[in-house]
């Protein structure tokens, strides 16, 4: 888990110290790309908690999602649908909230805070004295 945090901090520091700034005209596209990247990252986290994580899917998904989102919004601007941006934001937002919900539930289950539903009868007095 720590590699995630370290990598993240390295990225932020690199961005802050970098002399290169993104042209302000494309700020919209960068915003949606960042949103898509965040969504993919959360999706990856969810997948790892679910046990369905796949490296290839995550890596490729990360870059393609960001590029596709920005590309879609750019296309929207070109064809005259300026508010496609809102659709993009809404879609990413919904997915992020869903993923966050799932992650929360999975973490609670993992940490034993959420009672797992047992398949047998409800009361099992012996389970509490297990070592």
Partner 1 sequence: MRLRHIPWAIALVCVVLGFMLSMQFKVQKQVALKDLTTYQRAQDLAQQLEKAEQERDLLMQETEQLRTAIRNSAPTADVAEQLELAQLHAGLIPMSGPGVVVTLDDSTRPVQPGENPMTFILHDEDVLLAVNELAAGGAEAISINGQRIIGRSEIRCTGPTITINGVRTAPPIVITAIGNPDVLESSINMRNGIADELKTWGIQVSVKKESGVTVPAYKGSLKLQFGQPAKQEVSKQ
Give the footprint of partner 1 on this chain (CB under 8 A): 1, 3-16, 18, 21-22, 24, 27, 30-31, 33-34, 37-38, 41, 44, 48, 51, 53, 55, 58-59, 62, 66
- Shortest separation between residue 119's beta carbon and partner 1, angstroms: 25
Confirm if 32 and 71 have CB atoms less than 8 A apart: no
* DSSP string covering 72-104: HHHHHHHHT-TTHHHHHHHHHHHHHHHHHHHHH
Comparison of 108 and 118: residue with beta carbon closer to partner 1: 108
| d(C-alpha 8, C-alpha 5), whole Å | 5
User: Looking at beta carbons only, is 65 or 72 nearer to partner 1?
Assistant: 65
> In sequence order, what are the residues at sequence separation of 6 or more whose Cβ sits closer than 8 angstroms to the Cβ of residue 49?
102, 103, 106, 107, 110
Shortest distance in whole angstroms from residue 117 CB to partner 1: 24
Using the minimum distance from each CB to partner 1, give the nearer residue, 43 or 72: 43
- Whose Cβ is closer to partner 1: residue 67's or residue 91's? 67
């Amino acid at each position: 888990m720590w590699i995630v945090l370290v990598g993240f901090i390295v990225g932020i520091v690199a961005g802050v110290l970098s002399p290169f700034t993104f042209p302000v005209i494309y700020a919209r596209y960068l915003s949606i790309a960042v949103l898509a990247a965040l969504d993919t990252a959360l999706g990856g986290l969810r997948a790892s908690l679910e046990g369905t994580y796949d490296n290839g899917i995550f890596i490729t998904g990360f870059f393609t999602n960001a590029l596709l989102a920005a590309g879609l919004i750019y296309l929207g601007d070109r064809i005259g649908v300026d508010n496609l941006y809102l659709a993009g934001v809404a879609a990413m937002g919904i997915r992020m909230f869903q993923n966050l919900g799932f992650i929360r539930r999975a973490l609670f289950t993992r940490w034993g805070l959420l009672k797992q539903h047992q398949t047998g009868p409800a009361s099992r007095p012996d389970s509490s004295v297990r070592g």
